[in-house]
A and B are shown apart, each in its own frame.
Chain A
Amino acid sequence: MAENSGTDPAVETNTEENAAASATIIKVTVKTPKDKEEIAIAEDSSVSQFKEEISKRFKANQDQLVLIFAGKILKDGDTLGQHGIKDGLTVHLVIKTAQKTSGGGSSQTSASSGPGPSQGNTDGSANSSPAGNLGTPQGSGPSPTPTQPPNMLAGFGDLSGLANLGMGSANFMELQQQMQRQLMSNPEMLSQIMENPLVQSMMSNPDLMRQMIVANPQMQQLMERNPEISHMLNNPELMRQTMELARNPAMMQEMMRNQDRALSNLESIPGGYNALRRMYTDIQEPMFSAAREQFGNNPFSALGGNADNSGAQPSRTENREPLPNPWGPPDTAATTTSGTATTTSSTTSSTTPSVSNPLGISSSSLGNGMFNSPGMQSLMQQISENPQLMQNMLSAPYMRTMMQSLAQNPDIASQVLMNNPLFAGNPQLQEQMRQQLPVFMQQMQNPESLSVMTNPRAMRALMQIQEGLQTLQTEAPGLMPSLIPGGMAAGIPGAPLPTGVNVTPENPPPSGQAPTPTPAPTPTPAAGTNTAQQQLMQQMLQMFAGGNASTPTPEVRFQQQLEQLSAMGFINREANLQALIATGGDINAAIERLLGSQPS
């Protein structure tokens, strides 16, 4: 290229001469994805001159260089000045590697080799991740897709911190989704959850897992369609491996990455993308929806995530979140682990049944002091604040299934409960639990108990009881032994409702305060295993009964507050009353509620 400034050919090597000749030298930064260099060049040079310098500095062929500045590609015939390239500015450089065709070719080979090794992995992982890879066996059919991944269980239980619960999602399913999303973006949570001994103990029980999975009707459908799935599920080795994988997030990530890579390789194979797509729609989607419905197949979803399936859309579902429903029935709850405190789960399990079969369990948890963990409190609070939530949760399809399967199979329930590390240290408790299990189950089935759970006031009452009990515990530990309300025996199996109405007819302490020894006999120590827990339980009973007896109607109860509110200017008595009820008589909270409900 002839230089226009009339400089000798030496200009390419000696810009100084050029400088001396006319233009000023400017320093332009040339940036590649990998590094950047500062190149001194004459201000009025042409792009090709610039490229010559660059090719020398970056050791690349001039033809391979693509220079970009301000979104424009610099063509050889242009000058730097034309594009406004001045001193100190940055020009981007891309060094073209191979051409498209060869690129395609190489990607093809790499793709085939990719799936090769990953096939090894995948098979291993496929085997080990039955649930996750349910799609895989079929996937492996069509050639290079060893990793077919329908990430099915992906959608599983979302967890997300309890903090999110109840926030903004009326629909439980949506809640799940939110949780899932959160979890996915927060690997910390996953590892926390994994570390939860509850989860671990659950996962180490392949039978349980299998049962849970099988119980899901959608899963059953899937199984019919794809016999390999059931095969996988029935293979204990596989399950164990899968769970191992689920437990080890690092491994999972490894696998996922491999899957990802293999899948992406797949894409570049002509027709590969379509195969992927097909696989996704045929296998993954149904699984995905099955997964969404299912409650807590934790380990499997984790697996699912881990088992390949990434690539194409699957990555979206590549979820490693197990997390079942935090408020599942006692059992599930026990297995559930809501991602919050470990204690929460077990306490949750204790609480829910407490509605129907409270004392037996909650007292024990009380005894353990779990009941009052902050996680529990917030859980309770959310429940009481958002009755819809409870409702949704309970109506979630799989809940029913779960409860049913639990009821039918008390063994699993007991197994899970027994394995619950909380109870592990306390054989007495275990005994208690075991005895009460069948009753428990019934309670859960009892629609009344269900309705109670959805009743915010009831939940609130429960909370208050909790608090009261806790206070009692701390303030007057000596009081407990003296609390030997007769209602105990009646209480436990009697499935007293939280409202305590039926609970203890024999225990009519007026203000539910210090439970007074009732006329009823005291079967207390009778059980033999009766320890402080039972006493606590009785206490609870008392509170229930007492609390109720002393509450005429909300209106009367909140008489004073209502007056205060109307004095403040809140005219709408109905609304005031509602607010007061919802907040349990707390005026400030009620005011906030009232104000919040107005459009602002």
Chain B
Amino acid sequence: MDPHDSTFGVQLFIYDLSRGMARQLSPIMLGKQLDGIWHTSIVVYGEEFFYGGAGISSCPPGGTMLGPPDTVVELGNTEVTEEILMDYLSSLGETTYRGDKYRLFEHNCNTFTNEVAQFLTGNKIPSYITDLPSEVLSTPFGQVLRPILDSIHIAPPGGNVISSQNNHG
């Protein structure tokens, strides 16, 4: 075992996909205040990892078309090395987090981020993010829109898809 006692900082990048529109329009449209449509990604080892319609992808931090994040949350530190994480992500990417498994409400980028956050640090991501789908679905409008929204795959371009062959450990 190598004495790997160095730790790596883990951050959560939060993006508002609606660019502020949700904050303004949600009271009207949904009847409740939603401050944003959150998309999250994990940043560690100087790389950003996220899940979308294309599967698990990585890119330089803030390197997707969404631009810089709206909020950054420190999740803590991890001893997990990049190599281990890549192994982990590769397995995830082949099973539960394949591109076609993406579900906007139940199994989305935030689900992924939550899981990776727990893997890396033991902490979950802030609950207002993971609660978003149920918040939306609990409104009549959300219910109506559900069939349409279900087919939406958020896949911010700008990342490389991680696959087992791509393991740059």
Contacting pair B120 A33 (CB below 8 A)? no
Known A71-B80, A94-B84; judge A114-B165 contact (CB<8 A): yes
Q: Mark B50-93, 1 if CB is under 8 A from A, else 0.
A: 00011001000000110000000000111111011001110110
Closest-CB distance, B103 to chain A (whole angstroms): 14
> Is B36 interfacial (CB-CB < 8 Å)?
no
Q: Mark B125-166, 1 if CB is under 8 A from A, else 0.
A: 000000000000000000000001001111111111111111
Q: Mark A258-293, 1 if CB is under 8 A from B, else 0.
A: 001101110110000000000000000000000000
Contacting pair A107 B166 (CB below 8 A)? yes
Closest-CB distance, B119 to chain A (whole angstroms): 5
Contacting pair B95 A264 (CB below 8 A)? no
Contacting pair B160 A311 (CB below 8 A)? yes
Contacting pair A261 B77 (CB below 8 A)? no
Query: Could you say which of A180-188, A218-226, A340-348, A499-507 contacts chain B?
Result: A180-188
Closest-CB distance, B87 to chain A (whole angstroms): 5
> Is B1 interfacial (CB-CB < 8 Å)?
yes
Q: How far is the CA of A76 from the CA of B89 in the complex (A)?
A: 24
Q: Which residues in window 61-105 of A have CB below 8 A to B? A: 66, 68-73, 75-76, 90, 92, 94-97, 100, 103
Count of residues in A whose CB is under 8 Å from the partner chain? 48
Contacting pair A315 B159 (CB below 8 A)? yes
> Is A557 interfacial (CB-CB < 8 Å)?
no
In this complex, the interface size class of chain B, counting residues with CB under 8 Å from chain A, is: 35 or more
Contacting pair A185 B87 (CB below 8 A)? no
Known A34-B91, A68-B80, A114-B165; judge A184-B157 contact (CB<8 A): yes
Q: How far is the CA of A75 from the CA of B159 in the complex (A)?
A: 33
Contacting pair A33 B88 (CB below 8 A)? yes
Question: Which chain B positions have C-beta within 8 A of A90?
Answer: 118
Question: Which chain A positions have C-beta within 8 A of B33?
Answer: none
Minimum CB distance partner of A90 in chain B: B118
Known A185-B155, A264-B163, A264-B166; judge A316-B92 contact (CB<8 A): no
Chain A residues at the B interface, C-beta cutoff of 8 Å = 32-34, 66, 68-73, 75-76, 90, 92, 94-97, 100, 103, 106-107, 110-111, 114, 168, 181, 184-188, 257, 260-261, 263-265, 267-268, 311-313, 315-319
Chain B residues at the A interface, C-beta cutoff of 8 Å = 1, 4, 7, 10, 17, 19, 53-54, 57, 64-65, 76-81, 83-84, 87-89, 91-92, 95-96, 99, 118-123, 148, 151-169
